[in-house]
């Protein structure tokens, strides 16, 4: 029985080797099927060949550059014409370029211009006091810069100057800067809203009015956001045909004191008007407290100007908005004097953030 099985195994091994065309020295022995009675004998007779007797597989050659290129072209051009492939490649490149460009623009540091205060020399003054000075108050610059933006004081321009005439216009500043802040300072001259001053000390600064009115209109025309503070709020109203109370105490007898010797320590309650945009920046509140450093205020509203906030005790206008622009707002108080988290005064950071957000959205 075992002799016959051995002969049969040899014949089947020879047939397999011949059929595959592989040398018998490299052929793995194929065990024949055995009956149940012979399973133990077959198992005992099974021989495990050394590893060297396994069938050797030829090595797979490494893919070369031509093979990669061929695979890429086949995958990319499958089912489409060469022209369509070109359009896809060019479109992808353009999208990548536009995304890089947009990222560069949106991450660029904002550049905010601030109008200059003007010091006019008095007769007989000497030294620096004998010169016309244009300057920026530190607190307003630091308030705007707290949001990591660059601040530039915008000087008045005089193309007819006898010393060094220039071709630079205020329009050039409006074109290259992202927004404008009109800082506080001297009274607005009554001549700027077609009136005469009732007292010499209320004559205001007509020279500064002309400079800031031009600057204001250039930024609005350029669709750039604008924030007017104190005097800047009043000038915004005048720019569109409105008028002012030259002195609140004499023209509005029932008004509270909006200015005194305490300067920025003087304050009063503030109430946002219904549906005002400023009210939406703050959580619901009946009133807020702001400083009060002004003896003039808005009397008649200019064209397309709406009231955003008032002093509830005397209805004096405390904030306005120009309705035909994305962000052109005037605040009668000084937000730069409100120290965040250190007083009972309104935290005006949301107003600054809204102004800067508009600057980012309109600078493209």
Comparing 89 with 21, the larger pLDDT belongs to: 89
Mean pLDDT of 7-24: 43
Given a cut of 80, is residue 350 above it in pLDDT? yes
Q: Say if residue 63's pLDDT is above 70.
A: no
Convert the pLDDT of each residue in 26-36 to its tens digit: 434 444 444 44
Q: What is the pTM of this model?
A: 0.71
State what percent of residues in the chain have pLDDT above 90: 60
More confident residue, 5 or 188: 188
Read off the pLDDT of residues 300-312 as tens digits, 9 standing for 90 and up.
999 999 999 999 9
More confident residue, 165 or 135: 135
Phi, psi angles (nearest 5°) of residue 198: -85, -20
Where are the chain's structural domains? Answer: 105-122+130-361
Q: Which two tokens stand for residue 188?
A: 């607005």
Instruction: Determine the pLDDT at residue 62.
Output: 54
Q: Is 230 a catalytic residue?
A: yes
Find out whether 111 and 177 touch, Cβ atoms under 8 Å: yes
Q: Which of 218, 308, 336, 348 is catalytic?
A: 336
Q: Which two tokens stand for residue 330?
A: 């005037």
Q: Report pLDDT for 52.
A: 42
Q: Encode pLDDT of 88-135 as tens digits.
A: 888 888 888 777 665 555 568 999 999 999 999 988 899 999 999 999
Beta strand segments in 189-298, E: 226-229, 244-245, 267-272, 288-291, 297-298
pLDDT given for residue 38 in this prediction: 45
pLDDT greater than 50 at residue 4: no
Q: Residue 201 catalytic?
A: no
Mean pLDDT of the chain: 82
**Pairing label, strands 317-322, 305-310:** antiparallel
What pLDDT is attached to residue 70?
Answer: 52
Least confident of 59-73, 148-162, 191-205, 228-242: 59-73
The rounded Cα 180 to chain-centroid distance in angstroms is: 16
> For the domain 105-122+130-361, what is the CATH code?
3.40.50.880
Read off the pLDDT of residues 202-217 as tens digits, 9 standing for 90 and up.
999 999 999 999 999 9
* pLDDT for 161: 53
Set 230, 233, 318, 338: catalytic member: 230
233: annotated active-site residue: no
Q: Are 105 and 364 in contact (CB under 8 A)?
A: yes
pLDDT at 25: 39
Decide if 316 contacts 310 (C-beta within 8 A): yes
Task: Place 287 in a pLDDT band, splitting at 50, 70 and 90.
Answer: confident
Q: Does residue 170 surpass a pLDDT of 80?
A: yes
Catalytic residue from among 318, 334, 338, 348 = 334
Q: Average of pLDDT values for 223-244?
A: 98
Nearest to 182 by CA among 205, 148, 159: 205
Which band of pLDDT confidence, cut at 50, 70 and 90, is reported for residue 344? confident
The per-residue pLDDT for range 257-282, each reduced to its tens digit, is: 999 999 988 999 999 998 899 999 99
Per the DSSP assignment, residues forming a β-bridge with 307 are 320
**What is the model's pLDDT at position 65?**
52
pLDDT of the residue at 78? 61
Q: What is the pLDDT of residue 340?
A: 66
Is pLDDT at 290 greater than 50 in this prediction? Answer: yes
């Amino acid at each position: 029985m075992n002799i016959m099985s051995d002969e049969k195994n040899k014949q089947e091994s020879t047939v397999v080797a011949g059929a595959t065309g592989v040398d018998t020295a490299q052929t793995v022995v194929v065990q024949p099927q055995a009956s149940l009675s012979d399973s133990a004998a077959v198992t005992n007779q099974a021989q495990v060949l050394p590893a060297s007797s396994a069938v050797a597989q030829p090595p797979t050659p490494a893919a070369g550059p031509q093979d990669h290129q061929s695979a890429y072209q086949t995958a990319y051009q499958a089912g489409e014409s060469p022209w369509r492939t070109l359009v896809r490649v060019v479109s992808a490149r353009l999208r990548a370029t536009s995304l890089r460009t947009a990222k560069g623009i949106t991450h660029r540091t904002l550049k905010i211009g601030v109008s200059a205060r003007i010091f006019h020399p008095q007769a007989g003054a000497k030294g620096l006091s004998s010169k016309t000075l244009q300057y920026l108050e530190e607190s307003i610059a630091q308030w705007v810069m707290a949001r990591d933006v660059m601040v530039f004081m915008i000087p008045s321009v005089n193309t007819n100057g006898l010393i060094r005439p220039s071709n630079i216009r205020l329009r050039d500043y409006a074109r290259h800067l992202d927004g404008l802040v009109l800082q506080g300072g001297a009274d607005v001259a009554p001549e700027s809203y077609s009136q005469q001053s009732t007292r010499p000390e209320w004559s205001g600064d007509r020279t500064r009015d002309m400079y800031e009115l031009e600057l204001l209109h250039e930024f609005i025309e350029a669709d750039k956001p604008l924030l007017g503070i104190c005097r800047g709020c009043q000038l915004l109203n005048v720019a569109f045909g409105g008028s002012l109370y030259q002195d609140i105490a004499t023209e509005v007898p029932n008004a509270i004191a909006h200015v005194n010797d305490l300067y920025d320590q003087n304050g009063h309650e503030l109430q946002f008007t219904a549906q005002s945009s400023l009210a939406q920046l703050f959580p619901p509140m009946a009133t807020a407290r702001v400083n009060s450093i002004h003896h003039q205020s808005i009397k008649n509203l200019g064209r397309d100007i709406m009231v955003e906030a008032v002093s509830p005790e005397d209805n004096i206008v405390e904030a306005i908005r120009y309705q035909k622009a994305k962000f052109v707002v005037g605040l009668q108080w000084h937000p730069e004097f409100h120290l965040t988290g250190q007083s009972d005064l309104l935290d005006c950071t949301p107003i600054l953030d809204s102004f800067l957000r508009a600057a980012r959205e309109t600078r493209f």
